[in-house]
A and B are shown apart, each in its own frame.
Chain A
Amino acid sequence: KQEVTQIPAALSVPEGENLVLNCSFTDSAIYNLQWFRQDPGKGLTSLLLIQSSQREQTSGRLNASLDKSSGRSTLYIAASQPGDSATYLCAVLASSNTGKLIFGQGTTLQVKP
């Protein structure tokens, strides 16, 4: 059974710092991995999608990497800003038939001015 873990559960950093959020999964047979952002009481915003054949994706100050063989993905945020404060979720697509995502519990990030 596929399980997705995100450590740490919470992170607090000063503004301007570069940071890395971690995501691990137990079964390397995934089709893609998606990173989301969630603000309190709101829905999920898709940040980056990495297909299983890709190693990384970039969008602005965000860079996500994928190492299927080790069951790991990282989300790198450069030059963090207070507006980056949110919960970051990773999810893996483990089945080609259903489109079902399996989510981690998330990392809640606070960027202090």
Chain B
Amino acid sequence: DVKVTQSSRYLVKRTGEKVFLECVQDMDHENMFWYRQDPGLGLRLIYFSYDVKMKEKGDIPEGYSVSREKKERFSLILESASTNQTSMYLCASSLDSGRVYNEQFFGPGTRLTVL
């Protein structure tokens, strides 16, 4: 079974802090994604990566950056946390196999509260 893990289930930070959210997948997937989920807005893509050291902006990249130094690990960084970044953050991964478009598998989520 594919396993996607996230470093924390719950996180509380203060405004202005630098925050790191970590995601690890164990199935050698090329693609990794960061989403945030908010009531009434659904899931929105923040960033994704299709290879080590490669990244692409999603729909809402402002205020975030990412890092992918190893294939299995994709980090989301909030450079200076703000209260409007309080949200559920979900990481996902998928296999890249050419023209077959594969399932995305999600981690358990990190509930981030910024005070």
Contacts and interface: CB of A to CB of B under 8 A. Distances in A.
A75 B46 CA distance: 28
Given A41-B111, A44-B90, A99 B106 contact: no
A26 interface: no
Interface residues of A, number: 24
A100 B48 contact: yes
A99 B33 contact: yes
Nearest to A106: B42
A101 B90 CA distance: 13
Given A31-B101, A32-B101, A44-B90, A100 B58 contact: yes
A43 B101 CA distance: 21
Interface string A81-113: 000000001010100101111011110000000
> Considering residues B50, B103, B107, which has the most beta carbons from chain A within 10 angstroms of its beta carbon?
B103
Contacts of A58: none
Interface of A: 31-32, 34, 36, 41-46, 49, 51, 89, 91, 93, 96, 98-101, 103-106
Contacts of B102: 49
Interface of B: prevailing SS: strand
Determine the interface band of chain B, counting residues with CB < 8 A from chain A.
20 to 34
Interface string B97-115: 0011111111111010000
Contacts of B99: 96
B56 interface: yes
A46 B107 CA distance: 11
